Structures are given as C-alpha cells and as structure tokens.
Structure 1
Amino acid sequence: SAQFDFSDAEKRRTEHYIARRLVREPDNDAYAFLGTITPGEKDEEVHEARVRAALMREDWPQVVEWIDAMPAAQRNGFDWQYWRARALEATGKVDEAHTIYAVVARDRGYYGFLAADRIAAEYHLAHAPTPVGAELLERVASIDAVRRARELFALDRSIDARREWRVATQGMDVKHLQAAAKLAEQYGWHDRAIFTLAKTGYWDDLELRFPLQHADLVEQNAERHGIDNAWIFAVMRQESAFMRNAHSHAGAIGLMQLMPATARSVARQILKRQPPRRSELLDPDTNIALGSAYLSQMKGRLGDSAVLATAAYNAGPHRVTRWLPPHTLPADIWIELVPFNETRGYLQRVLTYTVIYEKRMGRNPTRLQDRLHPVPPDLSRLGAAGKPASSSDAAG
C-alpha cells in the first residue's frame, strides 16, 4: 500500500539505522545484509559500522574491502590505516602491512602505539617545550586581564578567574596563546595551561600537557589499592584536566569526576568512612581517594582487567558486562567494537595517557600490547592481571 512506499532517501536512512545496530549482531543473515548496502561519501558511520562488524568476525578480507570502499579522507585516518594493516598482515601481506604500520607508528597516540607494537618500533614520546621567549612571557604576564585572572586564581575564586582568563586570551595569536599557556603552568593553573596550549595545536610539550599535580596523593592511593599510579593520573587527566572544581552536565564532580551516589557507595563499602558531602568532593584528597578506590573496585569486579575497568569508569560496569563479546576477541578489536563513541574514545585516550604518564614519571612505558589482553565472553575466564586463565587455572 501507499503508506509503505518509501522514498529512496527514506530507504537509505532505514538501511543505515539498521546497519549501525547490526555491528555486534552475531547472526550471519544480519552480516550478509551489511554487504547489500552501498553507503555514500557522507555515510561515514555506516562505513565504520560495516568494518566493525567484519572485525568482530575477524573476517580480514572483508575488512580490507570495506575500508577500501571508505571515502579517502576517512580511510586515510590513522585508525582505519591501522586496521587495514592488521587485515593485510592477517591475510599474509606482511610487507605491505609493515609499511603502513611504520607510517602510523609516527603518531603519538593510541593507533600509533598499537602500530609500533606490531613492528617492535619505539613509541614517539619526545618532549619539546613550548617555544616561548622570556620577553614575550613578560609582556603577556603584564596584560591587565592576565594579572587579574592570576590574582583571582590565587584567591581560589576559580569561576571568576576562568572568566577573566577567557577575556585575557580572546583574540590572542598563536605565539601569545603559547606564552599564556606557559604562564598558567608557572602559576600552577594546569587546566588553563592545557586548554590554552590546545588552542595553538602545539602537542609536543608533554610536561605542560601532562602535569604531575597531586603526585603524593596519587602515589599513596595507588599503593593502597595496588593499582598503577600512571593509570590514576591518566584517568584524572582525561576526566578533568586537573580542574579541581570541575562539574559535568551529568552531575560528576571534581578531579576524578565522581557522581555523588558513587562516591557515597565507595566511601561506605571500600574506604569504610563517612559518605562525603558534595562540597567535600572538591577536595583533592577526598576525590582522589574515592576515585582510586572506585577504579580498583571496577578492576576487581571485571576480571582484574584495567581495560574493562576503564570502560566501566566511563560507562558503568553493567554496560561493560553487556558488551562482552560472543567469543574471545583480541582487546584492540573489542575496544573498536565499544558501541558508545564517547566511551571508545575515552578508553583509547586513557590508554594513551597512561603510556605518557609512565614516561613522565621516568619509567620505561609498558607496551600497549602488554596491557591489552584478549577479552573473553565470560569474566570467569580472566585470571590474574586481566589475562585469560589457562584451562587448569579455570578448572581450579
């Protein structure tokens, strides 16, 4: 009848909606359907959905075919180049794969680190301070609005201070913004330093971008809960960029962006202390203690896997257990299949930042391949340190 006479545009929209829903669907007919649709140049999500569905099946020839069907700008991104190389490697085209890995490995990021692992290359972690001369620093420091912002920050009037900083930096060119970022770093105002430098596109000043603020509290809580201090730093950097009084739209508070209900539960169950008032979550000592305890709780609850725990910190443990695969998958594939874009990006950034924080603390960074253990369909199959248990371990 006429009511089901869809236009071509409506058919495409419906097909694309279905395609996005089928990524994690194990049914073979559903997978076959993905091969019948022809996404256009602007259908980036559908192109990605098809490749992710092929990744879940480790159908490597199909991964190559569907990546090659992407628009050039999309397929040339480090993410899809990494997966193209993985697929080529899996289908025996090792030399071609290694050539691509070598290019991707130049990037200081999640896919760059993964690619470096595949060819045993060094991670690109060189630090280069922001190039700012003393004279320009002095000039920017003497701007009235910068001085007012600094005073307000010193008085702990952070909302007014941030407002004044915005006024001060509005309209600045790249060089002046870089100088402002260095000044904020000198003032101990790390969130403004990070955000201001980001506006300039200068990414190589690792000391400014990844400060070691609250190092004593981080170390103390890492020891207490038996978790990696670089991981705590990475989560804090991702959650708040060290903005002590950060508030999210969802209601999360403080350095590690704790929901008040989560903070109360963790305080009672793990730390055996009085549940904190909302205002107490702004205190670094309280926030880092509760956030670290919650990370540790998630890790224990999710098979001792820091990867699953990181995803749970962002999206909740109930979702992560729902996202466990129908069969054991390599962790890089499992991460790529996380259905929430926000959580997938969060997880990738926290893994990247953990590597960078290890470097910042003078450690030899743990390779991502040593952190990313296969993800089984059942958490009982994970043994110590989130690694799949052997059959004898599982039996025991």
Structure 2
Amino acid sequence: LLNNKQKNEANKILQALTNKRGFYGMISAQTLNQPYLLKNQSPKITQAEISTLKAKYDNQPYVKRINELRYFGMVSELSNEWRYMLNHQTNKSEYLALSQYALQKGWGDLSIQATIVGKLWNNWTERLPIMYKDLYNKALKNKSIPLSYALAISRQESALNSTAKSPAGARGLMQLMPATAKETAKKVDTVTYVSSAQLFDPKTNIELGTSYLNTVYLQNSNNRILSSAAYNAGPNRVKKWLNNSNGKLDAAAFIESIPFTETRNYVKNVLVYDYIYQTILGKKDVNILNPNEFNQQY
C-alpha cells in the first residue's frame, strides 16, 4: 500500500499493529514515527512484599534443595529441580510470585522458566532479567556492541541458562560451538581456552561470546539484523541472502525473506529483546531499529 501511494490505508493497518506485542507492533510504531507503548505487566515490588515472598518460599523443600545444589555448583541439577516443581504446580496463580521470588534471589534463569510455564508473556521484568551484568560490562570494554544487545543474544540463545547445550553442541549462555570458541580464543588474550567444558563457565562464555558477536557486528557495519542472522546461521549465509535480495528489500521484507524459519524468528526476537533491555536499562526514545538499520535497503 505504501509503495502504491495509498498512505491512508497503510497507516490504518500500521496503527492497528502498534497495539500488538513484539516485532511488528514495534516496527509499525517506528514507521508511523510514534512511540511504542510497551505493556509491562510486572508490578513494582516493595520491600514488604519481598519479605512476604521470602517468608512464603524460603523454607519450601525445593528451595532448600536448590540452595544446596547451588552451593555445590550443580547448576543443571538445580534447574531441573525448579522445572519439576513448576511443571507439577497445582496452583496456577503462583507462577508470578515464584518468578518474582526467583528474581529477588538473583535466579534470573529460574525466573524466566516460571514466566514460560506460567505464560506471563507481558511480565518483561521477570522474562528479561539482567544477569551477570558486571561480567558483561567487563567483557564489553573496547567492543562496539552495547550491553542490551549482548543480553538480548544471550536471552534468545539460552534463556540465560549457563548450562544450556544444544543438540548441535553449542554451549553455555551465548551458545558457542566449541570450534568457534577455539578460533575466537586465539584472538582473546584474557582467556586461556583448553576445553569446551569451559563454555559452561559464565565468565569464559561471555568473554568469548561477546568477542565473536563483536566480530560479526563489525563485519556487518554495526547492523543488528545482519549480525544476529550471522550469529545464528553463519556469516557466509548472510552474504548469500544479501546477494539474492540485491538491495531491493526494506528491513522487514529482508528479515521475512530469510529462508530459515529459526533464523527469521531469531532475528525478530533478538531485536525485541534488545528494545526491552534498552528500556529496562533506562534508555529513552527507544526504537526497534536504529536509523541505519531502518533506512537501509537490503
């Protein structure tokens, strides 16, 4: 409709889309040059409410087991313990309280699991917790990628589960393949990489993951659409897709032209998560795409 100069008809559709959650709601608002109203249903927690949550859950048997497993570094086992409890939760109204409790304990990965099982899709504070902030900030010194983008990639890759392992063998928070980690480590003087088991260590994973992400980010002129696709599907595939589209597509059309369903959804999710992390971190006047990403022809 826009291409056919039917601006009024196009704007009606775009305006309706601005009420939707996710990528198309956000990019429609940006196309109309108006702010997107992020519907964050996470209530602000008072100190008294935190005390109530602690009194309610601190002495639960599964919490005691999780605390003990955490003490011994058995992260995968404590994750399983939490998931088992969530899947056998009889009181469905408990999921929000459980996600809030986990977040206050610093268990961001467990908070995410509670929002997933409880279908708390608009509780963004619990769905997108900020974990390992100091490690990310330290790793991002002298890199071009912002904190929100590194967090968004990690959230999409592993739901911030440091023990995550994909069927293909990718590991840890930023889901690095051992071969990629080995090659990246040769260029990083802060990591001595000897074993893929190190990728389950958040510090090592974040150091190597942000280094590799920064490489593809710079290769793609700081464009998160292209660098996210490259991180997921590989840089060579992105070059091929750009050659196929030959500068004839706008940002949204290019994303939808990606032939892999996983990568299409991955790119949109990362952009949405980045938008929300920027908002949570206090950035003002946020858009889903920066001007270069939005105006580029792909």
TM range (shorter): 0.7 to 0.9
Number of equivalent positions:
289
Say which of 249, 264, 271 aligns to 2:182: 264
Q: Unpaired runs of 5+ in structure 1? A: 1-87, 377-396
- How far did residue 127 of structure 1 move? 3.1
The letter of the residue matching 1:361 is L
User: Once the two structures are superposed, what CA deviation does each residue of 1:158-182 show, in whole Å capped at 9, x if it has no partner?
Assistant: 2321232233221333211222222
Which deviates further from its counterpart, 335-344 or 140-149?
A: 140-149
User: Once the two structures are superposed, what CA deviation does each residue of 1:221-272 show, in whole Å capped at 9, x if it has no partner?
Assistant: 3332122221111101111111111111111111111011101101113548
User: 1:114, 1:368 within 8 Å by CA — same for their partners in 2?
Assistant: yes
The letter of the residue matching 1:160 is E
> Paired residue for 2:2?
89
Matching of residue 350 in structure 1 with residue 270 in structure 2: yes
Q: Unpaired runs of 5+ in structure 2? A: none
Matching of residue 287 in structure 1 with residue 200 in structure 2: no
**Partner SS for 2:5:** coil
User: What percent identity do the matched residue pairs reach?
Assistant: 32
Matching of residue 213 in structure 1 with residue 126 in structure 2: no
Say which of 23, 30, 37 aligns to 1:117: 30
User: 1:254, 1:287 within 8 Å by CA — same for their partners in 2?
Assistant: yes
Distance 1:229 1:135 in 2: 32
Distance 1:365 1:260 in 2: 39
Say which of 302, 310, 323 aligns to 2:220: 302
- How far did residue 136 of structure 1 move? 6.8
- How far did residue 342 of structure 1 move? 0.2
Assess, with a 3 A threshold, how the Cα gap between structure 1 residues 191 and 116 changes in structure 2: closer, same or farther: same
Matching of residue 233 in structure 1 with residue 154 in structure 2: no
Assess, with a 3 A threshold, how the Cα gap between structure 1 residues 187 and 300 changes in structure 2: closer, same or farther: same
- How far did residue 206 of structure 1 move? 2.2
**Partner SS for 1:227:** coil
Assess, with a 3 A threshold, how the Cα gap between structure 1 residues 130 and 350 changes in structure 2: closer, same or farther: same
Distance 2:190 2:103 in 1: 36
Assess, with a 3 A threshold, how the Cα gap between structure 1 residues 182 and 99 changes in structure 2: closer, same or farther: same
Which deviates further from its counterpart, 141-150 or 181-190?
A: 141-150
Distance 1:271 1:335 in 2: 35
Matching of residue 158 in structure 1 with residue 75 in structure 2: yes
Distance 1:178 1:168 in 2: 14
- How far did residue 357 of structure 1 move? 0.9
Matching of residue 372 in structure 1 with residue 290 in structure 2: no
Matching of residue 323 in structure 1 with residue 241 in structure 2: yes
The letter of the residue matching 2:296 is P
User: 1:221, 1:292 within 8 Å by CA — same for their partners in 2?
Assistant: yes
- How far did residue 295 of structure 1 move? 1.0
Aligned Cα root-mean-square deviation (Å) = 2.3
List aligned pairs for 1:191-206, cutoff 5 A: 191-206=109-124
User: Once the two structures are superposed, what CA deviation does each residue of 1:272-315 show, in whole Å capped at 9, x if it has no partner?
Assistant: 85434212212222111111111111123234433211101000
Larger Rg: 1
1 or 2 for the larger relative contact order (CA 8 Å, sep ≥6)?
Answer: 2
Matching of residue 359 in structure 1 with residue 272 in structure 2: no
Matching of residue 179 in structure 1 with residue 97 in structure 2: yes
The letter of the residue matching 2:141 is E
User: 1:190, 1:241 within 8 Å by CA — same for their partners in 2?
Assistant: no
Assess, with a 3 A threshold, how the Cα gap between structure 1 residues 332 and 248 changes in structure 2: closer, same or farther: same
